[in-house]
A and B are shown apart, each in its own frame.
Chain A
Amino acid sequence: MSLRLELDLEMEFREVAMHKYGYSKGALKKASFEAFRRWINEQKGIAVVEEPFRLIEGILKKTKSGSVELQHSAKKLWVK
C-alpha cells in the first residue's frame, strides 16, 4: 500500500512522528501504524490507549480465585 499526502500534511506528520519516535527510519512506520489503528478504532467506536494494561490490571484483585478457576466459573454465568 502506498499513498501520497499533500506536502503540508506530510511535513507536519513527519515532524510529529520524529518528535515522538526519534529521528530514525522506523519512526514514520510506527506513527503510520498508530494513526491507522487509531482511525480504525475510532470508526468502530472503540477508544485506543497507549498503556492498555493499566485498564485491567488488578480490577478483580478482591476476587479470591485463581485465574483458571475463575475462567471455568464463566460456564455458570453463560447458563444464567
Chain B
Amino acid sequence: MFIDSNIFLEIALKNANYTKCEEFLKNLLVKNTPFYTSDFVIYSCLLIINSKLNFPVYMKNFLIFISSIKVSILRPSLKEIYSATNFMEKYKLDFDDALILSCMVENKIKYLVSYDKHFDKVKEVNVIKP
C-alpha cells in the first residue's frame, strides 16, 4: 500500500476527511501492514509546510511523524524515473503522479491511498480513498 501526499496533508489541514485518514493509518500500524511512500512525497510535504509556516520546527515535527509511523520510504531509481515519463504520456499525468505510479509498479505495490482523481483512469493500481 502506497500513501500519497494528500493523505498526510489532509491531516495537516484538518480537513473533512482527516479523522478517516488518521484512523486508516493507525489501523495499518495496529495490524502491522507494511505501507510505503516515496522520498518525493516527503520532500513535497516538507516544501509545502515550509512555504506555509516558514519555521523549521514544523518540518522537524513532520519528519518525526514520518519516522514514528514506521512508513517505508522508497527512493525511485533512474529506471523508475524514466518509466514515469512513459506514464505521463500514457495517462496524461503530471510528473509527480506518474512517478508514484512507476514507483508502485516497480515495487509491485497494488494499492494507492489517495484522494487524487487523476489516478482514477490508471489501470495498473487500485485507489483507496479512506
- Residues of chain A whose beta carbon lies under 8 Å from any beta carbon of chain B: 37, 41, 44, 46-49, 52-53, 55-63, 65-68, 70-75, 77-78
Q: Is the CB of A73 within 8 A of B6?
A: no
From A56, A63, A66, A72, B11 is in contact (CB under 8 Å) with A56
Min CB–CB distance B26 → chain A (angstroms): 8
Q: Please, which residue of chain A has its CB at the minimum distance from the CB of B18?
A: A57
Q: Is the CB of B47 within 8 A of A59?
A: no
Q: Is the CB of B12 within 8 A of A71?
A: no
Q: How many A-B residue pairs have CB under 8 A?
A: 108
The CA of A59 and the CA of B45, in the complex, are separated in Å by: 12
The CA of A22 and the CA of B130, in the complex, are separated in Å by: 32
Q: Is the CB of B12 within 8 A of A58?
A: yes
Give every chain A residue within 8 A of B7 (Cβ-Cβ): 67
Q: Is the CB of B48 within 8 A of A77?
A: yes
Q: Is the CB of A63 within 8 A of B62?
A: no
- 5 additional A-B residue pairs with CB within 8 Å, beyond A53-B22, A68-B117: A55-B62, A56-B61, A56-B62, A67-B7, A70-B6
Q: Is the CB of A46 within 8 A of B5?
A: no
Q: Does B33 contact A (CB under 8 A)?
A: no
Given contacts A57-B11, A59-B12, A77-B47, contact A71 B6 (CB under 8 A): yes
Interface residues of B in 10-64 (CB under 8 A from A): 10-15, 17-18, 22, 25-26, 44-45, 47-49, 51-53, 58, 61-64
- Residues of chain B whose beta carbon lies under 8 Å from any beta carbon of chain A: 4-15, 17-18, 22, 25-26, 44-45, 47-49, 51-53, 58, 61-65, 67-70, 94-96, 115-117
Given contacts A48-B67, A53-B22, A75-B94, contact A59 B61 (CB under 8 A): yes
Min CB–CB distance B24 → chain A (angstroms): 11
